[in-house]
Structure 1
Amino acid sequence: MQTLTCTLIQSKLFWQDAAANRQMFEEKLNAIQQKTEVVILPEMFSTGFSMQPEKLAETMHGDTVAWMKKVAASKRIIVVGSLMIEEDEQYYNRLVWMLPNGEYGYYDKRHLFAYGDEHNHYTPGNKRLIASAKGWKINLQVCYDLRFPVWARQATPQYLWRGNGDEGQPEYDVLIYVANWPERRSVAWKTLLQARAIENQCYVIGVNRVGNDGNEIYHSGDSMVVDPLGEIFYHKKDEEDVFTIELNRKHLEDIRAKFPFLKDADRFKITDE
């Protein structure tokens, strides 16, 4: 059974300083000793969770996407993280899935954090990104999306279970959240990561930042890896950390075979029409 090796980088961020953050993350990447295939950075890893895209946003041809492309190619890894992007005179909190060959996919955060005024600065996305690596299907989401389970749970028609047979299959195997989730709501973060893993019978990876941001809001990290039964394989609080884990396909498939709950799931698809 094929495995997928992922590295989580839980880090402090230099406030609104993309060059400093790129250098910092490159140093952390260079220090990784274990073989890895997917490296996951926090939400807005180049700036911190800032509401100044008019000043700080880059384009898809800017320095940070170019840096992701360079690092992915030189390390032969997939690099994942979100950043501010300007496109067609609008701003997006955009998660980029960068492949070693320079190709990429992206997901624009759908659920904008109105409590933090994000909705007044950024445009929401309306399409999910389910990427593929070594036969694993990976659903990529951003921070506040975690509070909205139907966005993760919906299934396109070809993946819906039909009847009582074995037709169909789960839509994805891993659910990744990149975040700048404050410590004051860390109980919700940890609880919901476990809930998403249990209800979708998939691995869940949550990568959060640590430390104070430019608004003196403290982030405790609490990055986690959770298995399809809700068991916590990794959890780190308060400290910077670079952690590599091998996800086991057989473990995932054994759980789904023993507990075929997804066959009884509601069938629905969210549209903006």
Structure 2
Amino acid sequence: MEHLHVAMVQTALVWEDPKANRDLLASKMEQLEGEVDLIILPEMFTTGFTMDPGSIPADEGQRTLDWMQEQAKKYRAGILGSTVFIGENNRHFNRLFFVGPDGEQEQYDKRHTFTLAGEDKEYEAGKKRLLFEFRGFRICPMICYDLRFPVWSRNTEDYDLLIYVANWPAPRIGAWDALLKARAIENMSYCLGVNRLGSDQNGHEYTGHSAAYDCLGNTIVFSQEEAILQVVLSQQHLNLNREKLQFLKDRDHFNIQR
């Protein structure tokens, strides 16, 4: 496909209440207008950024995954976002799922757990990056704190779209803005960031700043309001600029160790 129609859902979340958040987001998505290929939800969209995953019933991760599959079929679109997921041996993950309308499914566990909040003590860190193709676009999704680590995000495999889902708080929102734009420029890729709004049980404030940038760092859309931001990404725009500027051909080659 030449174009990818993306909807980014920027909203407040209900603290540690998966059903309430699923109902809230289902209601929000009913407001979608026109053609949509991919719907992006924030990080931990069923709970907020909780450091008490044990308080979430073990079956809620699967319930959320089932709900994502239902929504994907309903809208004939891909759904992407992260949630608290409890795996084997009661291991906790901040796990991002992509679910397609035909039942396809991908997952990514957050690589860089946020030590400042103690996420590294409550959640298992991921070990593998995810790259998948959907409707003609190669997509690399990541989660919040991953944004601060450009080596992990580096476009070594010619992806077209880099996505960050987040609960990024207001005091450091300037870093969010700057780094999203930087990731787009350095990777010659579209870069989308979907953040939440409101406040959480720990008193953290979130001001959104969900945004989409093209491969030159130009702002396509930006908002601090409760909204569904809809953008159309162009494969032709991406290819023309890559062919003209050739920056990715000069990239460094390296191996990641941690």
TM over 0.5: yes
Structure 1 CA distance for aligned equivalents of residues 229 and 183 of structure 2: 21
The answer to whether structure 1 residue 32 and structure 2 residue 19 are counterparts is: no
The answer to whether structure 1 residue 148 and structure 2 residue 149 are counterparts is: yes
Structure 2 CA distance for aligned equivalents of residues 58 and 242 of structure 1: 30
Given that 2:167 and 2:196 are in contact with CA atoms closer than 8 Å, whether structure 1 keeps it comes out as: yes
Matched to 1:145, the amino acid is D
Structure 2 CA distance for aligned equivalents of residues 127 and 4 of structure 1: 25
Structure 2 CA distance for aligned equivalents of residues 255 and 133 of structure 1: 21
The answer to whether structure 1 residue 262 and structure 2 residue 248 are counterparts is: yes
Matches within 5 A, 1:75-94: 75-89=75-89, 90-94=91-95
Matches within 5 A, 1:131-170: 131-153=132-154, 155=156, 159=157
| Corresponding position of 2:190 | 203
User: How far does residue 14 in structure 1 lie from its aligned partner after superposition?
Assistant: 0.5
The answer to whether structure 1 residue 18 and structure 2 residue 18 are counterparts is: yes
Matched to 1:262, the amino acid is L
| Corresponding position of 1:215 | 202
* Segment of structure 1 superposing worse, 182-191 or 129-138: 129-138
What's the % identity of the aligned pairs?
A: 41
User: How far does residue 271 in structure 1 lie from its aligned partner after superposition?
Assistant: 4.7
Structure 1, residues 5-46: CA drift from partner, whole Å, max 9, x if none? 100000000011111100010011112122100000000000
User: How far does residue 61 in structure 1 lie from its aligned partner after superposition?
Assistant: 6.5
Structure 2 CA distance for aligned equivalents of residues 73 and 271 of structure 1: 39
Structure 2 CA distance for aligned equivalents of residues 20 and 233 of structure 1: 31
Question: Any unmatched runs of 5+ in structure 1?
Answer: 160-170
Matches within 5 A, 1:241-260: 241-260=227-246
Instruction: Count residues with an aligned counterpart.
Output: 257
| Corresponding position of 1:167 | none
- Give TM-score, length-normalised by structure 1: 0.91
Matched to 2:228, the amino acid is V
Given that 2:61 and 2:85 are in contact with CA atoms closer than 8 Å, whether structure 1 keeps it comes out as: no
User: How far does residue 73 in structure 1 lie from its aligned partner after superposition?
Assistant: 1.1
Structure 1 CA distance for aligned equivalents of residues 10 and 127 of structure 2: 28
- Give TM-score, length-normalised by structure 2: 0.96
* Segment of structure 1 superposing worse, 173-182 or 62-71: 62-71
3-state DSSP class of the match of 1:43? coil
| Corresponding position of 1:164 | none
Structure 1 CA distance for aligned equivalents of residues 230 and 43 of structure 2: 19
Structure 2 CA distance for aligned equivalents of residues 111 and 48 of structure 1: 17
Structure 1, residues 40-97: CA drift from partner, whole Å, max 9, x if none? 0000000000011111164586211110011111211100000011112211000000
Given that 1:154 and 1:267 are in contact with CA atoms closer than 8 Å, whether structure 2 keeps it comes out as: no
Given that 1:10 and 1:210 are in contact with CA atoms closer than 8 Å, whether structure 2 keeps it comes out as: yes
| Corresponding position of 2:64 | 64
3-state DSSP class of the match of 2:43? coil
**C-alpha spacing 1:18/1:250, structure 2 compared with 1 (3 Å):** same
**C-alpha spacing 1:196/1:56, structure 2 compared with 1 (3 Å):** same
User: How far does residue 103 in structure 1 lie from its aligned partner after superposition?
Assistant: 2.4
| Corresponding position of 1:118 | 119
Structure 2 CA distance for aligned equivalents of residues 75 and 190 of structure 1: 30
**C-alpha spacing 1:82/1:49, structure 2 compared with 1 (3 Å):** same
Structure 2 CA distance for aligned equivalents of residues 128 and 56 of structure 1: 26
3-state DSSP class of the match of 2:39? strand
Which aligned segments of 4 or more residues in structure 1 are displaced greater than 6 angstroms? none
Question: Any unmatched runs of 5+ in structure 2?
Answer: none
| Corresponding position of 1:168 | none
